[in-house]
């Protein structure tokens, strides 16, 4: 294990949150003081920043206060140890050999007078056991001071001390490993949190871009790539740095099959020279290892991605030679991430499909608009000519009564066709994005008056009363006069058309804040809730037989809806079957 990884990547506070480790070290330190007969024992651990940190102290309160959590450079210890006598696990540096400043540097010098003896312990004597792990890396120290008998320890005492040093060595290694493991879990969990946040996005590329650093750091990986499978079993490969990953077709196939199996077993798998994937042939195993060698990777963590029963891809995190081995906790965290990313793939796919569908629908809508415009144009010219000829015929003398009746009927039919064609042309005009609105202030007051005047005869014939409630002054809206005239005309004519004899139609106009509100209310047949939801869809006519009995095309409200939308306004409809309807249009005030 390299020095950098000792004690985890972050420098930490002097007390461990891991109570069992702390207690174990404290117990050993206390054992040294009680059993081996020393006033003070301190156990330190080596930190990644090259410092020794005191983790457990046994002895006087004063010593504990002064030493606990103290950090001293490792180099300093190494310098002192060079001058030390070898006492088995312990190293002894008599005070005569210490640097003059050593006492200050080591921080705490017991306040004692050496006894009068050739073996007397001097307050500046240094007795420390450097604690190495099995690969020879210094992981900590056990330092002792203040022998109770005031003498440098003899052979027998040194043997006891050695036993404690060995115990301290084991405990320090275990404590550091536990700490390291806790760090790994924390880091992998942090990575998962970040990935989770990133998966709120809808583009898979963005999700990868946003989670990449978290994954590399959280898993201390040198590199990563992701493979996704689509419905046909072939997908895409995304690399961490955007560079292409040269996975040959055989490797892609192996990765895919292995991911499906790993998903089924719900496990993330480590692949290295001494561990390769299960259920693959020797030849396939060789291919994988060759590939790892070719990209200089020592080991990788292979995680399946999926949602529900479906495996959707795999995530590969790589480590280089000398990096620590993948742990169980990392594999578990990676699998959780596999679930998060799996869901993200599904979401991104759904979004993409919907997006495509919307685009197709838009294309279809454009096509429909063009078709309507073309057909309407083509019909308009011959119809104008038909109308002209009809008028000519009607004015010719000596026509019989029946001929006249037929001509009138033809003219009525032709006029109706002209109205439908005009509606179609207007509908395609107001739905055409390339024909933008050029808004000017329009006086809706005047417009309402004109519309009501025009319809007055028809209303009177039906015995309907039209009430107009408008302020005296002009009511200006920002928009196109012709289009707004049609909005008003269509709403008022519908109200008259769908209100039985004797009813009242009210047209109201007012200004509310930055908006102008046009209200057309009637006491007519009303519209069911289901039909209200569909109003404004081209060619939609209500299913109500009373409504169907009236002539109509289902274009009037579609025009209203489109005109209002392109004016940046909105519409509100309230209706009750058999009681009447209220249509309201809100437009930006001029
Ligand atoms: P049209 O009147 O030509 O059928 P519209 O687009 O103007 O087409 O209206 C669509 C449908 O909405 C009508 O067929 C009718 O069923 C219903 N409708 C519209 N206005 C009213 C109203 N004021 N009262 C009752 N139903 C209405």
- Domains of the chain with CATH codes: 3-181 (3.30.450.40), 185-350 (3.30.450.40), 355-430 (1.10.287.130), 440-588 (3.30.565.10)
- b/e map 150-177, b = 16+ CB within 10 Å: bbbbeeebbeebbebbebbbebbbebbe
- 241 CA → ligand 1 middle, Å: 59
The pLDDT assigned to 233 comes to 54
Rounded Cα–Cα distance for residues 388 and 491 (Å): 30
**What atom of ligand 1 comes closest to residue 520's alpha carbon?**
23
- Whole-structure pTM value: 0.52
**What atom of ligand 1 comes closest to residue 525's alpha carbon?**
25
Check: CB of residue 96 under 8 Å from CB of residue 147: no
DSSP 8-state assignment for residue 95: G
For ligand 1, atom 21, the nearest C-alpha belongs to 494
The pLDDT assigned to 277 comes to 67
DSSP 8-state assignment for residue 59: S
The pLDDT assigned to 435 comes to 87
Mutate-to-test residue for ligand 1 from 518, 525, 542, 575, highest number of ligand atoms within 8 A of CB: 542
**What atom of ligand 1 comes closest to residue 495's alpha carbon?**
23
pLDDT values of the chain reduced to their tens digit, one per residue, 590 residues:
222 222 333 333 444 666 778 888 999 999 999 988 899 999 999 987 889 999 999 998 988 888 888 888 988 888 888 889 999 999 999 988 876 555 454 556 667 777 878 889 988 889 999 999 998 999 999 999 999 999 999 988 899 999 999 999 999 998 888 888 887 788 888 888 888 888 887 788 888 888 889 899 899 899 999 999 877 656 788 888 777 777 888 888 889 999 999 999 999 999 888 776 666 778 888 888 889 899 899 999 999 999 999 999 999 999 998 888 898 888 999 999 999 999 998 888 888 889 999 999 989 988 888 888 899 999 999 999 999 999 999 998 888 999 999 999 999 999 999 999 999 999 989 988 888 999 999 999 999 999 999 999 999 999 999 999 999 999 999 999 999 999 999 999 999 999 999 999 999 999 999 999 999 999 999 999 999 999 999 889 998 999 999 989 999 999 999 999 999 999 999 999 999 999 999 999 98
The residues lining ligand 1, judged by C-beta closer than 6 Å to any ligand atom, are 490, 494-495, 498, 522, 524-527, 535, 540-542, 547, 552-558, 581
Q: Dump the DSSP string for 418-479.
A: HHHHHHHHHHHHHT-TTS----EEEEHHHHHHHHHHHHHHHHHHTT-EEEEE--SS--EEEE
Angle, vertex CA 402, rays to CA 396 and CA 406, nearest 5: 75
Helix or strand (DSSP H, E) at 342: helix 328-394
The pLDDT assigned to 317 comes to 95
Closest of 347, 351, 263, 254 to residue 311, by C-alpha: 263
For ligand 1, atom 17, the nearest C-alpha belongs to 542
């Amino acid at each position: 294990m390299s020095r950098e990884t000792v004690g985890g990547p972050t420098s930490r506070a002097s007390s461990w949150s891991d109570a069992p480790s702390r207690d174990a070290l404290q117990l050993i330190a206390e054992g040294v003081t009680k059993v081996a007969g020393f006033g003070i024992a301190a156990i330190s651990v080596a930190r990644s920043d090259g410092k020794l940190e005191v983790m457990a102290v046994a002895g006087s309160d004063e010593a504990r206060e002064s030493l606990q959590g103290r950090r001293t450079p490792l180099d300093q210890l190494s310098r002192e140890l060079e001058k030390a006598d070898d006492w088995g696990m312990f190293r002894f540096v008599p005070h005569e050999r210490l640097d003059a400043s050593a006492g200050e540097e080591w921080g705490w010098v017991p306040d004692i007078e050496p006894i009068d003896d050739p073996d007397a312990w001097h307050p500046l004597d240094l007795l420390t056991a450097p604690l190495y792990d099995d690969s020879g890396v210094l992981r900590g120290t056990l330092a002792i001071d203040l022998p109770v008998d005031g003498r440098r320890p003899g052979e027998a005492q040194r043997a006891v001390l050695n036993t404690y040093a060995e115990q301290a060595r084991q405990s320090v290694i275990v404590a550091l490993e536990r700490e390291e493991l806790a760090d790994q879990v924390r880091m992998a969990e942090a990575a998962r949190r970040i990935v989770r946040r990133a998966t709120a996005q809808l583009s898979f590329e963005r999700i990868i871009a946003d989670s990449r650093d978290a994954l590399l750091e959280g898993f201390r990986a040198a590199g990563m790539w992701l493979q996704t499978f689509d419905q046909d079993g072939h997908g895409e490969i995304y690399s961490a740095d955007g560079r292409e990953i040269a996975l040959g077709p055989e490797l892609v196939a192996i990765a895919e099959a292995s991911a499906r199996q790993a998903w089924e077993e719900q496990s993330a798998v480590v692949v290295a020279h001494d561990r390769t994937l299960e259920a693959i042939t020797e030849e396939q195993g060789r291919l994988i290892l060759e590939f790892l060698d070719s990209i200089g990777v020592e080991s990788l963590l292979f995680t399946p991605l999926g949602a529900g029963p479906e495996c959707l891809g795999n995530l590969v995190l790589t480590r280089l030679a000398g990096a620590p081995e993948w742990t169980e906790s990392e594999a578990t965290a990676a699998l959780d991430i596999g679930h998060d990313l799996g869901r993200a793939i599904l979401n991104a796919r759904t979004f993409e499909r919907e997006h495509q569908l919307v685009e197709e629908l838009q294309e279809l809508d454009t096509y429909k608009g063009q078709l309507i415009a073309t057909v309407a144009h083509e019909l308009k010219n011959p119809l104008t000519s038909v109308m002209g000829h009809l008028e000519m015929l009607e004015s010719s003398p000596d026509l019989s009564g029946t001929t006249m009746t037929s001509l009138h009927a033809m003219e009525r039919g032709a006029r109706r066709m002209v109205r439908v064609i005009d509606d179609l042309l207007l509908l395609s005009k107001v739905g055409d994005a390339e024909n933008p609105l050029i808004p000017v202030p329009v006086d809706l007051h005047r417009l309402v008056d004109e519309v009501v005047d025009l319809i007055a005869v028809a209303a009177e014939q039906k015995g309907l009363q039209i009430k107009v409630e408008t302020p005296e002054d002009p009511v200006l809206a920002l928009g196109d006069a012709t289009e707004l005239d049609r909005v008003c005309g269509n709403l008022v004519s519908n109200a008259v058309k769908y209100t039985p004899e004797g009813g009242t139609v009210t047209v109201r106009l007012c200004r509310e804040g930055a908006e102008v509100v046009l209200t057309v209310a009637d006491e007519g047949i009303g519209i069911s809730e289901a039909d209200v939801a569909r109003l404004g869809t081209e060619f939609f006519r209500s299913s109500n037989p009373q409504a169907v009995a009236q002539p109509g095309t289902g274009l009037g409200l579609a025009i209203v809806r489109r005109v209002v939308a392109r004016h940046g306004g909105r519409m509100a409809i309230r209706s009750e079957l058999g009681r009447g309807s209220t249509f309201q249009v809100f437009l930006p005030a001029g």
